[in-house]
Amino acid sequence: MERERDVSLLPKAHLHLHFTGSMRPTTLLELADKHGVHLPEALTGGEPPKLRATDERGWFRFQRLYDMARSCLRDPEDIQRLVREAAEEDIRDGSGWLEIQVDPTSYAPRLGGLIPALEIILDAVDTASRETGLGMRVLVAANRMKHPLDARTLARLAVRYADRGIVGFGLSNDERRGMARDFDRAFAIAREGGLLAAPHGGELTGPASVRDCLDDLRASRIGHGVRAAEDPRLLRKLAQRGVTCEVCPASNVALGVYEKPEDVPLRTLYDAGVPMALGADDPLLFGSRLAAQYELARRHHAFTDQELAELARQSVRGSAAPEDIRQKLLAGIDDWLESPPA
Ligand SMILES: [Zn+2]
């Protein structure tokens, strides 16, 4: 067998990680205990739950589990702990830059309202970043199951707090609901305020949803975007524009978007020149973190160390990291390639 370098030592940027979904399973159990929350067996079994989101019922079940986990985050200390542990896990996996995605609306009821919730989250990110040394920023994500006016409110808020560590605006939840263009005003507000547009698309629905993100929301990054692989013209467009797809292969398999790891079209996107940033999405529910996504590319798609390094470079280039951090990470990637394989 060929000797390989340790992917957890490969410097990379992590651009697709949801807030509650980043939680350690053991932390979830402790917080549930602390607050007297009774968790369903699917969350306490020590194994990631069996999920299937290719129909609305399956997606609903996934969301319900997510909501249950989120309900265990009740006070500022819980938020601080979650963020610090997300940073620690990322560092262990070789991440040198983390953009964490959150809809503060979901935390508002327990944290004293939307603005207090956002401030607690941003403070926690700032503290964790200083204490761990990991560069961290926030993407505020609107929920497409809610009214577009809610998304506009969030976009305005995100712009107002841009200097407190918000770099982007997203749109999450079931792609089958509503149209991307319903959220075009919210995205215009975010873009005009200097935030990058990074909506989810091309996960639960096909290439058309990615096209909508590009045309209607002027996305500069796409959450997932994998199903663009079904449309060669769209792939060319993504490559030409340099739109980074935040591809989360383990999530895709866990949710049944693809049957097996080898079915995730990593090669198709890579060969088409579409920049990718591999991400873990919701490690709490899918059972694997950042380095495991690179390992999956190696094991199931035969990515060489050169190619894994190129994927890591793409993640750094697609990030909102400042120039000095980008240079440091890119130099670290070169060093990784020059290090002897284990
Ligand atoms: Zn996501």
The residue written with tokens 């790891």 in the block is 261
Q: What is the pLDDT of residues 17-37, one digit of tens each?
A: 999 999 999 999 999 999 999
Residue 202 Cα to ligand 1 midpoint, Å, equals 11
CA distance 145 to 253: 23
pLDDT in the model for residue 58: 79
* Residues of the chain scoring pLDDT < 50: none
Given the structure tokens 């953009």, which residue do they identify?
99
CA of 246 to the centre of ligand 1 (A): 9
pLDDT tens for 277-322 read: 999 999 999 999 999 999 999 999 999 999 999 999 999 999 999 9
Q: Are 277 and 318 in contact (CB under 8 A)?
A: yes
Question: 243 and 208 in contact (C-beta within 8 Å)?
Answer: no
Q: What pLDDT does residue 301 have?
A: 98
Residue 59 is predicted with a pLDDT of 80
| pLDDT score for 52 | 77
Question: Angle formed by the axes of helices 305-317 and 323-338, to 10°?
Answer: 180
Q: What are the two backbone dihedrals, phi and then psi, of residue 293, each rounded to the nearest 5 degrees?
A: -70, -40
How far is 63 from 69, CA to CA, in rounded Å?
A: 10
The pLDDT score that the predictor gives to residue 168 is 98
Give the model's pLDDT for residue 175: 79
The Å distance, Cα 335 to ligand 1 centre, comes to 31
Query: Yes or no: is domain 7-338 CATH 3.20.20.140?
Result: yes
What is the structure's pLDDT at 62?
A: 85
What is the reported pLDDT for 2? Answer: 65
What is the 339 CA–ligand 1 centroid distance (Å)? 33
Q: What string of DSSP letters covers 156-214?
A: HHHHHTGGGTEEEEEEES-TTSS-GGGGHHHHHHHHHTTPEEEEEESSSS-HHHHHHHH
Residues with a catalytic annotation lie at 203
